Chains A and B, each alone.
Chain A
Amino acid sequence: MSDVSPSPALRRGLGDHIILAAVLVLSVAMVAPVLWVIGLSLKDNAELMANPNSVFHPPYIIDNYIAIIGTSAVFRWIVNSLIVSVGLTFGTLVLASLAGYGFARLEFPGRQVLFVIVLFGLAVPEQAVLVARHQIFSILQFHNTYQGIILPGLSNAFGVFLMTQYFRAIPKELDEAALLDNASRFKIFWKVLLPLTLPAQATLGIFTFLGSWNDYFWPLISATRKEMYTLTVGMASVQSNFAQSEGVGFLMAQAVFAGLPIFIVYLFFQKYIVTAVSGAAVR
């Protein structure tokens, strides 16, 4: 009697096909809203108001993009978001690297306790400290300033933890070799160890930049003047215009426009982002 069960190779082939189909379905599910947004952005506002399904057929126009360039505040919001995101990323990298080096390499009293306190920061939700922070920033007159939006994000417990672990993983023999090479503490940090943490810096930098770019909660509270809005806050403020006076097409064009910088970041740092995300998943 012949064996009718599929061979292992055939079963493996079948499995591959199922996975491929699942990936295809999920990809379509991910891409469809993006295409939908792009489609809407290329339609006339009045036409969309009359018939939302008009997105599926021409004419497609670029008037909404012309309007953005001509009139919208979205440029200002993008600049604000860039200043905040770049400032926050740079500040986080500097502080987390220095703190990580300190926790990993320097002997000082209370080091372990301090590190545990930093780790506790991971467990404290932003909402828990919001009122107190708002009060302090009011007294300091930090609201509606860049430092007001940037400063809270600099206390990045995850960043300190990540960099500490990374510095710890670098063999101490390198420090010792550098000590024998007459290097000062700072030189060892700057010339020997810091360059070796570039993969961790890239991971932390990308996460921080994306997190900051997409952050909505704190900028919404701190930036109350329209010219200090970050992109997320600005976009939301337009969206909550119930009369839709600026139109859905115009709103979607703003969304596409706002997504461009992050798209460019993805284009240039794709390799690092994939590594960072997969690394985070393994961790």
Chain B
Amino acid sequence: MTAEIDIRNVSKRFGSLTVLEDLSLKIPAHEFVVFLGPSGCGKSTLLRMIAGLESIDIGEIFINGEPIGHLPPGQRGVAMVFQSYALYPHMTVRQNMAFGLQNISVSSKVIAERVANAARMLEIGHLLDRKPGQLSGGQRQRVAIGRAVVKEPNAFLFDEPLSNLDAALRARTRVELAQLHQRLKSTMIFVTHDQMEAMTLADRIVVMNNKKIEQIGSPMDIYDRPATRFVAGFVGTPQMNFLNVTALATEPSGVRVECGALAVVAPFDAAAVGRATMLGIRAESVSVVRDGEGDIGATIDVLERLGDRSLVHARLADGQSVVANEAGQTRLKVGERIGLRFAGDKAHLFDADGVAFHVREAVS
């Protein structure tokens, strides 16, 4: 009960608008893949093409080696959980879960068994005789998952299923989805624009932007070694700091990068010299030190106290803004002069096209 999904050179247009362009992706069996990207990047369209709810203009999608482009949605062996849950409002929870099985003439005994098992697993046994209108958002979400589970599909498709839940419930459901994947071991594809969901759930993240795939990788790969400036900026909270590069030079200890008064030396890929126009570094790699110390001086603009840490928004002398991370509850004050220390080996360089150059990984 799992599927290897192979998307080959797929394109999709709506009238004159191209939504996906020559996109290829292989999803191995059992994998939990997250399509991550901003609104309008084509991630939901790709999911709907796998489900059969959108036609494939060019290319083909294979499930377990079989082309599925010609198959109707119900015969692709996939189940989908919609953002709006799409539960049938006039049917009880039990009827909602049984409907798909009744349509393929599964015996009522087997249907009852599967519904009971799924209800037990999702802890919705007490809700089976209620209608969706009598359920909370979280309960509806579980029923929608239950409706997918009873079909025992080869692959689960989730289209932003957590976006209608409040923050606490979303966090809880994330964990439960991860547990569900561990239990069922089915292939799961999850669409979201929330990078936190992507980072916590995915075996692999597919970052999409502007009709194409920007990067495919494990969550930490995406976070630590973003392939493009878009990925670097899209993944991570707060957003990565970007500073304009004013000079680049090769030195014995690495590449010297100057951003106005700031100079960082790190073992960057030498190919960056002459091409990089932007330096990127995450807030946790910038530390706050006393004024006069560190790599550069700055003035605090805004302080965000998050409890376990504080985000210090500081302005450099040339007007560029940098966010630094400080552990614990800070005693700093807005307007105070501070020094900033940059961990150069955690920085990234980007050329004018947004392509990233990373610090060379140490050979062990």
Which A residues form the contact surface with B (CB < 8 A)?
171, 173-174, 176-183, 187, 191-192, 195-196
Contacts and interface: CB of A to CB of B under 8 A. Distances in A.
Given A181-B103, A183-B103, A173 B74 contact: no
B90 interface: yes
A181 B100 contact: yes
Interface in B315-346: none
A171 B147 CA distance: 18
Given A177-B82, A196-B89, A183 B99 contact: yes
A167 to B, nearest CB: 14
B103 A173 contact: no
10 contacts: A173-B82, A176-B73, A177-B80, A177-B87, A179-B52, A180-B80, A180-B100, A181-B100, A181-B103, A181-B147
Chief secondary structure at chain B's binding surface: loop
Contacts of B74: 179-183
B152 to A, nearest CB: 13
Interface string B80-112: 101010111110000000011001100000000
Contact of A187 (B52, B103, B151): B103
B29 to A, nearest CB: 20
B84 A182 contact: no
Nearest to A171: B84
A182 B75 contact: yes
Contact of A196 (B51, B75, B90): B90
Nearest to A180: B73
Interface string B269-283: 000000000000000
Contacts of A181: 74, 99-100, 103, 147, 151
B104 A182 contact: yes
Given A181-B74, A182-B75, A183-B74, A176 B89 contact: no
Contacts of B103: 181-183, 187
A191 B84 CA distance: 20
B205 to A, nearest CB: 25
B178 interface: no
A177 B86 contact: yes
Contacts of A182: 74-75, 100, 103-104
Interface in B53-87: 53, 72-75, 78-80, 82, 84, 86-87
Contact of A192 (B72, B82, B84, B88): B88
A25 to B, nearest CB: 42
A139 B357 CA distance: 86
A183 B88 CA distance: 13
A183 B84 CA distance: 20
A176 B104 contact: no
B257 to A, nearest CB: 49
A182 B104 CA distance: 7
A102 B180 CA distance: 40
Given A171-B86, A174-B86, A180 B104 contact: no
Contacts of B90: 195-196
A187 B88 CA distance: 13
Nearest to B83: A173
A196 B78 CA distance: 26
B100 A174 contact: no
Contact of B73 (A179, A191, A192): A179
A241 to B, nearest CB: 52
Given A180-B53, A181-B147, A182-B74, 15 more contacts: A171-B86, A176-B73, A177-B86, A177-B88, A179-B72, A179-B74, A180-B74, A181-B100, A181-B103, A181-B151, A182-B75, A183-B99, A187-B103, A196-B89, A196-B90
A178 B151 CA distance: 13
Given A182-B74, A183-B74, A192-B88, A176 B82 contact: yes
A176 B82 CA distance: 9
B49 to A, nearest CB: 13
Contacts of A174: 86, 88
Contacts of B80: 176-177, 180
Nearest to A195: B90
**Which 4 pairs, one residue from A and one from B, show the smallest C-beta to C-beta distance?**
A182-B74, A181-B100, A173-B86, A177-B86
Contacts of A196: 89-90
B327 to A, nearest CB: 45
A179 B100 contact: no
Given A180-B73, A182-B75, A196-B89, A173 B84 contact: yes
Residue among A176, A177, A183, A195 facing the most chain B CB atoms (10 A cut-off): A177
A179 B147 CA distance: 13
Contacts of B78: 180
